[in-house]
A and B are shown apart, each in its own frame.
Chain A
Amino acid sequence: MTDTQPKKANDPIIKIVGMHKWYGEFHVLSDINLEVQQGEKIVICGPSGSGKSTMIRCINRLEEHQQGQIIVNGTELTNDLKNIEKVRAEVGMVFQHFNLFPHLTILENLTLGPIWVRKTPKKKAEEIAMMYLEKVHIAEQAKKFPGQLSGGQQQRVAIARSLCMAPEVMLFDEPTSALDPEMIKEVLDVMIDLAKEGMTMLVVTHEMGFAKSVADRVMFMDAGQIVEQNNPHDFFDNPQHERTQLFLSQIL
């Protein structure tokens, strides 16, 4: 692990420098530069196809970048499998479609990572899992299977599953956009609690209310570039770029 340097106190937890990505010939991300400090909450928005998902998926190497650097918690993402697994264990991810493991109970979904990746003893892993299920208000469902839960409940389980790995960073890719309106709030509430506890979060979402109340920084992406970023107050009240203005006028 030659590219793992000791981390200094105010080093950014995520550092992306001059990152480019192509899908075949298609230049999907262009010159992405981003620093995220510990505890920062960043909301990413932008039109469909602008590369939001692709960018956050590069951070845990679900997608591979071809140029530039991505350094997560002092570990640079390269082809080194060991480094990739290390970063993935430290970065939690919540997907639009939950992606729970349907053949495992809720409790088993939660303990899988800790037991096999962190080598936590089963008893201990179950205790931790129950604690997080408590936290997302769903402890009584521990013995059920994902297919027996509502969408909102499943998404809360998915969040708890990531938290069980004690991640440094949480990535959310449109966590509420597959949910019925009455379930969106229960998921957002869990995320707000998490933010209050100081979790570092990158959230792709169109929930602008959430952005206004939680985000330290809101970022607008278009055509594979970060067009504008600012604190929520200035971002919403005084957008600088024409494209940002147009986008905000369409969704607000």
Chain B
Amino acid sequence: MNQPNNPTREYLAAPISKVGPLAWVKKNLFNTWYNSLLTILTLGALAYIVPPFFKWAFIESLWNSSSDACRDIEGACWSIVPQNIKFIILGFFPEGQEWRPILAMILLLALVIYSKERSRWTKLLAWMWPIGLIIMGTLMYGGVFGMPVVETDQWSGLPLTMMLSFFGMVMAYPLGVLLALGRQSKMPAIKTLSVVYIEMIRGVPLISLLFMSSIMFPLFLPDGMTINKVLRAQVAIIMFTAAYIAEVVRGGLQAMQRGQYEAADSLGLNYPQTMRLIILPQALKIVIPPTVGILLSAFKDTSLVVIIALYDVLKTTKVTLQNPHWTGYSTEAYLFLALLYFICCYAMSSYSRRLEKELHTGH
């Protein structure tokens, strides 16, 4: 501003565009004619959509009322969610026992959150998981400590979704890694088996796998023998996801340089050691982004189990909408579901980004 007035040299003003929010807008939103056009169009569209949506969702809406009260308003009837929350979340879990799935879900969530920090990946944690899972299973199934047995066909809603997707991911990942290693194996039998498995699974949609597991598979079982329906769906999801993980991991393995194998060999490390200590840690890190992509779709695809008559959280919502009191509020119900799915997916992908950053060692 106050520049010393030295006549022997010329003082230039600082380039204006560097300062102020106005300059930022100009630089980023109106720097070329097509960018300006896009900005104006976007603003126009937002002005058209946002105020009515806001009015519908927040101003003329009801948050916790009876369905009758909703008939008289123009806005959103969010009441469908709190009024039916028990059925949407827990489905057909028996009356009076609701605390059990709720406790199981809290336990799972707590374990997941606790496991986020890499500094906690210790032996203790490796024990906590199986113990936690046994407790969760016991809570859900019951039969001990005076808890009545709840058969798996009554498991529904969010606990079912969480279980199918959580086990789907946790079991499919190591299986996929093994398949990827199998596909690279020098032993022809293992290699062929892996290739056939991967290509066969990738050649069919998940829906048909679910159908096969629920309708065709029982035909091959001896009379009187049944395998639990939930378990069959779970296995189908695991098998399906594993094949995709395998291909992604194979990509990571191929990105490894021969020098890494040679260095490991020259130290005298054997094959399992080389893979576990040298190759997989690097290869799996490279493929974190596509792996997370697959895990996210696996999570969302669990909703396909509706077609074999399992009541996951999407199906319980649909059933709620069939209740004559609440038909017509599907937008609200599905927005709620979308939010639920979004929170889970967003948490997963932002965690993966953090992990990626932490594992970066500057090469």
Contact = CB atoms under 8 A, between A and B. Distances in A.
Given A62-B262, A95-B259, A112-B277, A117 B267 contact: yes
A85 B270 contact: yes
A133 interface: no
B97 interface: no
Interface string B251-278: 0000001011011111111100100011
B361 interface: yes
Residue in B257, B263, B265, B282 with the greatest tally of chain A CB atoms within 10 Å? B263
A64 to B, nearest CB: 12
A247 interface: no
B266 A103 contact: no
A165 B265 CA distance: 13
B363 interface: yes
Nearest to A158: B263
A95 B259 CA distance: 8
B363 A146 contact: yes
A147 B269 CA distance: 23
A88 B265 contact: yes
Contacts of B262: 62, 93, 95, 99
Nearest to B266: A93
Interface in A152-171: 161-162, 165
A156 to B, nearest CB: 15
A26 interface: no
B362 A112 contact: no
Given A146-B363, A147-B361, A147-B363, A101 B269 contact: no
B293 interface: no
B285 interface: yes
B281 interface: yes
A100 interface: yes
B355 to A, nearest CB: 13
Given A95-B259, A116-B277, A103 B285 contact: yes
B267 A145 contact: no
A45 interface: no
A60 interface: yes
A175 interface: no
Interface residues of A, number: 29
B358 to A, nearest CB: 12
A198 interface: no
A75 to B, nearest CB: 12
A117 B363 contact: no
B285 A85 contact: no
A151 to B, nearest CB: 13
A62 B259 contact: no
B259 A99 contact: yes
A97 B361 contact: no
B268 A88 contact: yes
Contacts of A165: 267-268
A214 interface: no
A62 B269 contact: no
Contacts of B259: 95, 97, 99
A97 B259 CA distance: 8
A89 interface: yes
A232 B263 CA distance: 31
A51 interface: no
Contact of A101 (B268, B278, B285, B362): B278
A89 B262 CA distance: 13
Given A99-B260, A101-B278, A102-B361, A113 B265 contact: no
A92 B263 contact: no
A112 B361 contact: no
Given A95-B262, A99-B260, A103-B282, A85 B363 contact: no
A103 B359 CA distance: 8
A99 B263 contact: yes
Nearest to B258: A99
A101 B266 CA distance: 13
A116 B362 contact: no
A148 interface: yes
Interface of A: 60-62, 81, 85-86, 88-89, 91-93, 95, 97, 99-103, 112-113, 116-117, 145-148, 161-162, 165
Interface of B: 257, 259-260, 262-270, 273, 277-278, 281-282, 285, 359, 361-363
List the 8 closest pairs (A to B, CB-CB), nearest first.
Answer: A147-B363, A89-B268, A99-B263, A113-B267, A99-B259, A147-B362, A88-B268, A145-B361
Given A91-B266, A116-B269, 16 more contacts: A60-B266, A62-B266, A86-B268, A88-B267, A88-B268, A89-B267, A93-B263, A99-B257, A99-B260, A101-B260, A101-B263, A103-B361, A112-B269, A112-B277, A117-B269, A146-B361
25 contacts: A60-B265, A60-B266, A62-B265, A62-B266, A85-B270, A88-B266, A89-B267, A91-B266, A92-B266, A93-B263, A93-B266, A101-B278, A102-B282, A102-B361, A103-B285, A103-B359, A103-B361, A113-B269, A116-B273, A117-B273, A145-B362, A145-B363, A147-B363, A165-B267, A165-B268
